[in-house]
Amino acid sequence: MAETALTTPGESPARAAGWQGIAADWSSDQRAFKNVSWGKAMMWIFLLSDTFIFSCFLLSYMTARMSTTVPWPNPSEVFALSIGGKHIPLILIAIMTFILISSSGTMAMAVNFGYRRDRVKTAILMLVTAAFGATFVGMQAFEWTKLIMEGVRPWENPWGAAQFGSSFFMITGFHGTHVTIGVIFLIAIARKVWRGDFDVERRGFFTSRKGYYEIVEIMGLYWHFVDLVWVFIFAFFYLW
């Protein structure tokens, strides 16, 4: 006969142990996400899934690099530029990283002014963030063009292991696509903020109710994630 847990009046039932207990706590909690908007919750879920994808890419890159028997190209030589007759390693990558990290600061200020209902400063800072992002993508396009002209392909490269080309184009291309999408949405939302769509409750995309500036914060979550991912790409791909 199956055993049942007996409790006396006023005594709480015994809690399940381990993961079953955690699942039971979360499934029975009626307030865990009550004050979180659907937009913000869905963005966090999307960022979590994107984290898994980027993690798989970086793990695959590390596996390919450590398992190949062919010498791996030296990033300090591959990503160097000649300026004024001097060979400067990683100068372009350093500038790109500085620009993208700086864009996180302007995005954070845009979120701050958004919740203060200062639509002019919010829109300007979002456009500045978009300009930083567009500059980053432009410099990445220059980097791609330079390497392609030097003979780098997804299946080969003139400096050693063939996996270098496929890893480089896959990882930086996927991240660059994220930055490009972010720039497009930053411009679109900045335009709506500038016009006052969130103050007059103008109907359209991302305008659900008056004073709804949370979309700026949701955009900020995405942008900070893109910047954070680049830090890992920079560390694993360019400095290793």
From first to last of the 240 residues of the chain, give the pLDDT tens digit. Answer: 444 444 444 444 555 666 776 666 555 554 555 666 778 888 999 999 999 999 999 999 999 889 888 888 888 888 888 887 788 888 999 999 999 999 999 999 999 998 888 889 999 999 999 999 999 999 999 999 999 998 888 888 888 888 898 999 999 999 999 999 999 999 999 998 888 877 776 666 666 556 567 889 999 999 999 999 999 999 988 888
pLDDT at 26: 59
Place of tokens 């591959």: 78
Alpha-carbon separation of residue 207 from 32, 196, 214, 218, 229 (angstroms): 26, 10, 10, 13, 29
Domains in the chain, ordered, with CATH?
Answer: 38-238 (1.20.120.80)
Q: Tell me whether residue 112 is exposed, middle or buried, using C-beta atoms within 10 angstroms of its C-beta: 0 to 12, 13 to 18, 19 or more.
A: middle
pLDDT at 84: 76
CA pair distance 136, 96, nearest whole angstrom: 6
Which of 152, 182, 155 has its CA nearest to residue 50? Answer: 182
pLDDT at 83: 80
